[in-house]
Amino acid sequence: MILIITIAIKQGKGNFAVVKLARHTIINLEVAIKVISRKSLEADQLRKLNREIDIMKRVGSHRNIVRLYQVMQSDRHVMLVTEYCKGGELFEHLKNKGPMSESNSRFYFHQIVDAVKYLHSNGIVHRDLKTENLLFTSDMKSVKLADFGFSNYYSVHSFLSTWCGSPPYAAPELFEGKQYDGPKADIWSLGVVLYVLVCGALPFDGNTLQSLKTLVLKGKFRVPFFISLDCEHLIRHMMVIDPEKRFNLQQILQHRWMLSPSSSSSHSSTESEKLSDRLKNVHIDDNDKDDVDNSLVEWIASELDVDSETVLSSIRNRSYDQYYALYSLVNDSSHCSATLSAPPSPPLLPIVPSTNQRKSSI
């Protein structure tokens, strides 16, 4: 294996993995690397890791989902090379700067809903939607969904049973230990995300898991006075105790609050949906295997000292090796502003004095 990635600094650490910032030595672009220790994984955990990788391969072409570039495996480690979102977590921005205006919240929430809609249309549920798993690009013009460790496949009229995700964002049916409809559980979590965006706090904030469970199962939460009635209406119709009565994604996108103009975008909801449909597969090598940049293929072959057929085969087969990674990184960097330029970066400023915010904070 050709080493084309240089490890720089540690970004985060979990039970089985560490995430590091890295730089591609040939094109000098930053990427993130998730390093997983094989010896820490039991058979079931390894199976889930393989599922996570498979899901990332399936959905990474969407512009609001963090992109997987390369999978490296050895006897000791599995390493996932992914897109690096330099803008950081939505969670950190809200913690440091307070809630967003409804207009700016709407701008980003459109993108979040579109990413989830894309997952569901591909038979995948995320199951860990939260502000920590939503990352900003460096220019703050896009938000991207990350961390598919709890994601799973589903089929219509089938139910899931695994309790997973983050408790403050979890739907009531998960706390009850029931089998649940995955997409409907994601809708509840989306409602919590929207609440946090506009309020700067969690709707349910118990000191213990048991107290949090009690609050969630009651389903009662306060919406601050500065939130518009339309926004409150949308939140309350996403966070309904009965999963069957929750809004679906289409109802969310067609809600009057979502149809209102955003200061960050001149596009209506309908235009936003059309735009996302056109741009979701902006990574041209993923979905049109015949549309390959031959000059780029030749350049990669020269840089890595291999024949061009090796590179071409990697791209067409989506091998997620060093050749595919380099091709995709160059393609993404050159197409990041393709088709339509993003709107100006919206300010992330509190819309009310801190004294008017809820006590509990994220």
| CA–CA dist 136, 341 (Å, integer) | 16
Q: For the chain, how far is it from start to end, CA to CA, in angstroms?
A: 43
| CA–CA dist 190, 99 (Å, integer) | 16
Q: Distances from the Cα of 31 to the Cαs of 7, 148, 186, 289, in angstroms?
A: 10, 17, 28, 24
| CA–CA dist 203, 164 (Å, integer) | 19
Closest to 182 measured CA to CA, from 278, 190, 344: 190
Q: Which two tokens stand for residue 282?
A: 């902006």
Q: Which two tokens stand for residue 75?
A: 């006897």
CA count, 13 A, side-chain hemisphere, 306: 15
DSSP E strands, 193-258: none
* 114 annotated active-site: no
Torsion of CA 250, 254, 256, 258, to 10 degrees: 80
Instruction: Give the residues across from 81 on adjacent strands.
Output: 33, 70
Strands of 17-24's sheet in order across: 5-13, 17-24, 30-37, 77-83, 68-73
Consecutive H or E run containing 35: strand 30-37
Query: Which residues neighbour 272 within 8 Å (Cβ) at sequence distance 6 or greater?
Result: 110, 114, 265
| CA–CA dist 132, 226 (Å, integer) | 24
Collapsed DSSP state (helix, strand, coil) of residue 76: coil
Instruction: Catalytic residue, from 44, 54, 114, 128: name it.
Output: 128
Radius of gyration of the chain (CA): 21
Collapsed DSSP state (helix, strand, coil) of residue 88: strand
Known catalytic residues are 128
